[in-house]
Structure 1
Amino acid sequence: MEGELLQAGIRAKLRTLRRLLRIRLVAEALAWLVVAVIALIFVTMGIDFLLRLPERPLRAGIMIVALTAVAWVAWRQLLWPLRVPMSDDDLALLVERHYAKLADRLISTVQFARWASEASLASRAMIARTAQEANQLAAAMNFSKTVERTNMWRLLGTAASAAAILAGFAVWQSDVMALWCRRNVLLADVDWPQNNYIEVQGRNFKVVRGDDLTVEILSDPAATPPPYVMLYARFPSVGGTEAKVDPYPADRNRFVKTFRSVTEQFTFYVVGGDDHRDKRKGHAVTVIDPPALRKVSFIVAYPPYMKQPPGHFDGAQAALPVPVASTVTVKAEVTKDLSSAKLILESADDKPAEQGEVKIENIAGRGGRPRPRGISGRFQVTRLNRGGARILRFVLIDTDGYTNRRGGTYVVQILADRAPSVDVKKSGVGPAVTPIAVIPLKISAKDDHGVTALRAGASVKSRKLEMKSDPVKFTSADPRRPIARHSLDLQGRKLRPGDVIGVTAEADDTLPKEMGGPNIGKSGALEFRIVKPEELMAELVRRQKALRLEFMEHIKLQDDARAKTLAAADAISADEVTPEARRWLGASAGVQSSVGAECARTAEMFAAILEEMENNRLGSARDHEQLRDGIVRPLKALGKPIRETTAALNEAAKIDSATTVKKKTLEIADLQEEIRKAMEAIRDRMEKLESRQELANQLEMIIKWSGELLKSIKEWSDTEVRGVLQPTTGPATGPGVEED
Structure 2
Amino acid sequence: MPHSSAQTLPRSVASLLARLRHQVRRYIVWDSVLAIAVVVMAAFWIAFLIDYLPVRVGGSEMPRSARLVVLVITGVIALGLVWRYLLSRLNRELPDDSLALLIERHHPEIGGRLVTAVQLGETPRSGDSYSPTFMRQVRQEAERQVEKVDLDRVFRPEPIRHKVTIVVPLVLAALIMAIASPQTFGRAVGRLTLFSDSPWPRNAQLEMVGVEVPIIAASEADDGATQLVTFEGNTVRLARGSNATLRVRAAGEEFGHQIPDLCTATYVDDEGNRGQSNLRRVGRVIDGYQSFVLDGPPLTSLADSVTISIRGLDDRLNDYRIEAVEPPAIAKMQMQVRYPDYLRVFHNNADFDQQLDYQAGVRIREGSSLILTGLASSPLGGVDVVASDAGSGAAIGTSETTEETSPTLDAKIADDGMSFSLALDDVRDATSIRVVPRDADGISAQAAYRYFIGVVRDEAPETSMRMSGIGSSITPIARLPIKATATDDYGIESMSISMIVRQQPGDAAAGPDAGNAETGSDPNAGEQSYSVSPQLDREGNTSLTIDLRDLVDNEVLQPVSPGATVTLNTLAQDRFNLAGEHVTQGELIRLQVVTPETLLATLERRELEFRSRLEQAIDETRRLRQSLTAIETEAVELLAPADDGESDGNDRPDDTQTDSDGSNNAASNNTASDQEEFRSRQRVQLRIRQAELQAAKTTDELAGIVAGLDSLLLEMVNNRIDSVDRRERLDEGVRTPLSDVVEEPFPNLRRQIVQLERILMATQTDGATDDGSAGDGAENEPPADQRMRSAVETAVTTNDAILLQLSAVLEKMLDLESFNEILDLMRGLIQDQESLLDETEEEQSKRVLDLFN
Q: Normalising by structure 1, report the TM-score.
A: 0.49
Q: TM-score, normalised by structure 2?
A: 0.44
